[in-house]
Structure 1
Amino acid sequence: MITEHHEPRTIMHEQKPRIQNHTEDSGSRPLQESRLPARPSASEDMKLVVKGVITLGARAIRELDRFFRSLRP
């Protein structure tokens, strides 16, 4: 079972360099340069994810607060 889990992962890792090789053949060196500044945008995406989780948590707390206040007479 463990080897079955590792085999698709190695296949996926083998496909990723093939895709990069095809894009390199088409002249994607500027794309690789644009991938390097994409790393800070990934951290910006993480900031947006954290903000979204915080807002969802705050919304859930408000809904629970309304629910428990509605139980009071």
Structure 2
Amino acid sequence: MGICYILDGILIFYGIILTVLYCRLRMHSATKPPAEKQPAEGGIYAGLYSPSNDTYETIRTDKKSIV
């Protein structure tokens, strides 16, 4: 039964440490201004948009009737 008290104490101590670290992380991220996104001019997104190409192509609706 004594070992249970020791394990409970370790668990409570572990929970307190994790809570303090989480609060510090939240406080540091709240004080930093959010980074502004810059438009990609020639990066990995170059060539993905072409105004001359249609997004959708028309499906041919010619059906041969089976008689």
TM-score normalised to the size of structure 1? 0.44
Q: By percentage of residues, which structure has more helix?
A: 1
Of structures 1 and 2, the one scoring higher in RCO (CA 8 A, sep 6+) is 2
TM-score with structure 2 setting the length: 0.48
